[in-house]
Amino acid sequence: MFPPMLQRAAHAIPSQCGICHTWPADIVCEDCVVQFAQPVPRCHSCALPLPGAASTQGLRCGQCLKTPPSLDACVTAVAYEFPWPDLIHRFKFGNRPGLAAMIARLIRSTPWAEPALDQADLVVPMPLAAARLKLRGYNQAVVLARALGPSRIDNLVLWRIKDTPAQTSLQTRAERLASMKGAFAVDPLRTDVIHGKRIVVVDDVMTTGASMFAAAGALRAAGAAHVTGLVFARTGF
């Protein structure tokens, strides 16, 4: 009994920065946040980086101009690159749900994240497939959503009704978009909770956006007035 208890206690006590190993420090020290978590111009709709843009307010990438996604807006804190993949892996697979507090602080410090949360009627975490939930023991998106919007979270209104393959196992954007078609639905007995509301959908990582777009599409079909995706890390493709 005692070793796991001691291990959890050790994880909760600030010690070395997980990136530069400064002592003492929080899980990620302030210097590393400044170095690795600077905001960059991104597409307003899908959060892909916009090279050469001075600001992202209202700007959209070519793909989103050509084929607007079901998201009204998308905000991400960092790029999915060093040093963040290791932190995310520990959060998702290393039994470290306590990392959500620090990740939530980084998200809240991102431009347009705080207004999106303030204006939201509901904060909805991305549902996790049952098999993966059983394997991990918790849904990291639920833990993160609780850290971001504890008074507005609803983790039951959006369902994952299709067990899809892991997005990392699919090679192309087209494959990922196709695999997520029909993957989500809103609880049919609770559409009144969604209708006419502003929704923020929370997840830890966004790759092609297939999962986020599918979830947003289900919410829009149920009558949501506005859907914002809020994620910690975004890949560059």
Please provide the DSSP assignment of 100-144 as one string.
Answer: HHHHHHHHHTSTTHHHHHHH-SEEEEPP--HHHHHHHSS-HHHHH
Pair 154, 122: CB distance under 8 Å: yes
Does residue 143 carry a pLDDT above 60?
A: yes
Average pLDDT (191-204) is 97
CA-CA-CA-CA torsion for 178, 184, 188, 193, nearest 10 degrees?
Answer: -130
Q: Quick one: which of 32, 126, 30 has its CA closest to 74?
A: 126
52 Rama class: left (phi>0) / alpha (psi -120 to 50) / beta = left
User: Which residues make Cβ contacts (< 8 Å) with residue 236, sequence separation at least 6?
Assistant: 48, 49, 79, 80, 81
Q: Which DSSP category does 99 fall into?
A: G
- Please give the pLDDT value at position 181: 77
6-18 pLDDT, tens digit per residue, is: 344 444 555 688 8
For residue 205, pLDDT beyond 90: yes
Query: Mean pLDDT score of the chain, rounded to an integer?
Result: 87
| Tokens linked to 154 | 């609803």
Q: What is the pLDDT of residues 58-102, one digit of tens each?
A: 799 999 999 999 999 999 999 999 999 999 999 999 999 999 999
Instruction: Check whether 155 has a pLDDT greater than 80.
Output: yes
Phi, psi of 205 (to 5 degrees): -135, 145
SS3 97: helix
pLDDT at 130: 86
| Structure-block tokens of residue 125 | 């975490």
Predicted confidence band of residue 236 (pLDDT cuts 50, 70, 90): confident
User: Residue 17: its pLDDT value, please?
Assistant: 87
Average pLDDT for residues 159-167, to the nearest whole number? 74
- What percent of the chain shows pLDDT beyond 90? 68
Amino acid 1: pLDDT: 37
Q: What is the pTM of this model?
A: 0.87
Measure CA 5 to chain center: 29
What does the alpha-carbon distance between residue 200 and residue 83 come to, in Å, rounded to a whole number? 26
pLDDT at 129: 87
User: What is the mean pLDDT of the segment spanning 16-22?
Assistant: 86
pLDDT at residue 6, rounded to an integer: 35
C-alpha 56: how far from its chain's center? 19
Question: For residues 90 and 99, what is the distance between their CA atoms, to the nearest angstrom?
Answer: 8
Cis peptide preceding 111, ω within 30 of 0:
no
pLDDT at 5: 41
Whether 213 has a pLDDT exceeding 70, the answer reads yes
DSSP 164-194: PPPGGG--SHHHHHHHTTT-EEE-GGGHHHH
Identify the pLDDT of residue 141. Answer: 98
Instruction: Map out the domains of the chain with their CATH numbers.
Output: 63-234 (3.40.50)
